[in-house]
């Protein structure tokens, strides 16, 4: 079965405009193109008509301006990418809940919504789909081993929630997440128990600069969602998981928790 995909929000992640790194597959339409044997992009919706027109021309599909219900009705997508600003996402989820064709949602973060989606929803915490980060998560099975995550990064919800989610993914205890606000290039360091040569126990540091991701994460996120829609898998980054991560991020931002 070839699933039909609609992208709502044709900006950086949704359309790839001004945000298509040469060395990474990073956007929703690129992922749909890469998995063309399983899914095909059928259209765009965006409040800014110029963005919708640009994306439609770039990816050779129709656009519907700001007409979400019309696009859902006329295109009958199985999967909807929600790449709008957070303030617009409730409207989109409500529309998807009313659309009988929608069987899966791929949503950018921060997710925070009061209206639960009816369809399986993958929230795009990309580090949960990156091979290096997955390898660390798989070896980090002890939740009480004293490991710490040090993050030097922007202190806004879009960035903070990525690292609260990463700490949860790596089983870092709340008191061991150290968030240091910095408006510049990101740096994060995982410090976990290790063994140095000889008889001495020590600590092992793994450092990541910038986004820290390598490749394959967008295809992996989409593939997992498609498998979940087909009853073959559970979601790696569900809406419920996203809410827990975002509650922690809100505490960091507004209560000062984990700011060191």
Distance CA 257, CA 91 (A): 31
Mean pLDDT of successive 10-residue stretches along the chain, which has 260 residues: 95 80 80 97 95 94 93 97 92 94 96 85 96 92 81 91 96 91 87 66 84 91 98 96 94 80
pLDDT score of 55: 94
CB 13 within 8 A of CB 108: yes
0.85 surpassed by pTM:
yes
pLDDT score of 192: 87
Q: b vs e for 213-238, b when ≥16 Cβ sit within 10 Å of the residue's Cβ? A: beeebbbbbbbbbbbbbeeeeebbbb
pLDDT score of 238: 95
pLDDT score of 104: 98
**Domains of the chain and any CATH numbers:** 3-124+215-238 (3.40.50.720), 127-212+248-255 (3.30.360)
pLDDT score of 20: 60
Distance CA 43, CA 61 (A): 5
pLDDT score of 23: 62
Distance CA 185, CA 122 (A): 27
């Amino acid at each position: 079965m070839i699933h039909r995909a609609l992208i709502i929000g044709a900006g950086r992640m949704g359309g790839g405009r001004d945000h298509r790194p040469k060395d990474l597959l990073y956007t929703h339409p690129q992922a749909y193109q890469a998995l063309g044997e399983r899914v095909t992009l059928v259209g765009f919706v965006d409040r800014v008509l110029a963005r919708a027109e640009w994306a439609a021309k770039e990816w050779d599909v129709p656009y519907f301006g700001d007409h979400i219900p019309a696009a859902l009705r006329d295109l009958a997508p199985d999967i909807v990418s929600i790449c709008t600003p957070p303030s617009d996402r409730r409207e989109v989820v409500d529309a998807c809940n009313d659309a009988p064709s929608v069987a899966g949602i791929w949503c950018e973060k921060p997710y925070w919504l009061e209206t639960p989606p009816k369809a399986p929803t993958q929230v795009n915490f990309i580090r949960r789909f990156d091979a290096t980060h997955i390898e660390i998560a798989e070896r980090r099975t002890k939740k009480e081993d004293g490991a710490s995550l040090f993050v030097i990064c922007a202190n806004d919800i879009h960035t903070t929630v990525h690292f609260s989610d990463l700490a949860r993914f790596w089983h870092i205890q709340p008191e061991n997440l150290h968030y240091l606000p910095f408006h510049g290039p990101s740096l994060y360091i995982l410090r976990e128990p290790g063994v140095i040569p000889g008889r001495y126990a020590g600590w092992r540091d793994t450092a990541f600069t910038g986004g820290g991701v390598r490749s394959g994460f967008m295809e992996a996120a989409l593939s997992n969602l498609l498998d979940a829609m087909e009853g073959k898998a559970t979601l790696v980054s569900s809406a419920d998981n996203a809410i827990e991560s975002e509650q922690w991020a809100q505490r960091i931002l507004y209560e000062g928790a984990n700011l060191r």
